[in-house]
Amino acid sequence: MLFNDIFNKEKLPVERVFLPKGEMILLEPFFCEMWILKKGMLTLITGKERKNRIDLGQLFLLPPGDTCSLISEQNTQCIRFFLPDCLVLCERFFFPDLIKEKSFFKTSFNPVEMVPLLWEYTQHLDKLFEECPLTVSFLRIKILEFFYLLRCSYSKREIAGLFFSILRKEDYFAQFIEENYPRIKTVREMAREANMSLRSFENKFNLVFGTSPGRWILQRKMQTVYREIVTSHIPLTMIADKCGFASLSHMSDFCKKHLGKSPSQIRKEGYL
């Protein structure tokens, strides 16, 4: 999991929440939040007055920017995680792996039941809150531990359901990139078009595509140039202009460097 420096010294990335019966809190998360219900029962009210019941022992996710309300139906205790911008469940498991699983779900809210291993983790966390002065750095490590436990305790499909609301939003980001990258020259310009800081854009891009924007754009440009040269019959000078090169010589240099052959050789052979 990658962490941005998003937490100040006063704000811990994990907290315990105690709600008496009948209390309602209005939430508009700035960060993605993961909640674990350890005691009691909650009702979550989201957009269009949709109500979702949350029972003891369930995990649920609140995506950033979505206004919602939590109503405590009983005296309630929760653990609340403030998650970083860029989420990686482990070194070999990335969020793009989950996107193909989301078609199995019809709603964006899909809580999961806490398994015994996670229950033991939360019990230990409760004890730490009661007995130790906890720091931001230590709790970041505990979030990392939580995500490793999540990864090894649930299937990809279960995790995709839990994170469905985030996966849904990534679709819009991916669509924006696909539609706009051909006309945008630099990563910085693309971040500006998306109305994001360069750092946030790069983190978001890595989350959605599993690689850096620079590497992804280069790969797409290589594919586009090769396809245009091999499958079309228009002059190479027109292809150079269409693909954003200043001249045919610039495209020729690009092809030699990244594709191993000149444009005329690629067209003649029809393969690499």
Distances in Å between the Cα of 236 and the Cα atoms of 221, 256, 263 are 15, 14, 7
Token pair listed for 233: 């019959």
Backbone angles phi, psi at 37, to 5 degrees: -90, 110
Q: Quick one: CA dihedral 61, 67, 71, 72, positive or negative?
A: positive
DSSP 215-242: HHHHHHHHHHHHHHHHH--S-HHHHHHH
User: Widest CA span of the chain, in angstroms?
Assistant: 76
For residues 108 and 123, what is the distance between their CA atoms, to the nearest angstrom?
Answer: 28
**pLDDT by position in tens, the chain (length 272):** 333 333 344 578 899 999 999 999 998 776 788 999 999 999 999 866 578 999 999 999 987 767 789 999 999 999 999 876 445 554 445 555 666 666 677 777 889 999 999 999 999 999 999 998 898 889 988 988 998 898 889 988 888 888 887 766 666 677 678 777 777 778 888 888 877 788 888 888 887 777 888 888 888 888 889 888 988 888 999 999 888 888 999 999 999 999 999 999 988 886 44
For residues 259 and 172, what is the distance between their CA atoms, to the nearest angstrom?
Answer: 31
pLDDT of residue 3: 34
For residues 193 and 187, what is the distance between their CA atoms, to the nearest angstrom?
Answer: 10
Instruction: Give the residue ranges of DSSP H helices in the chain.
Output: 96-99, 116-131, 136-153, 156-162, 164-180, 187-193, 198-209, 213-231, 236-242, 248-258, 263-269
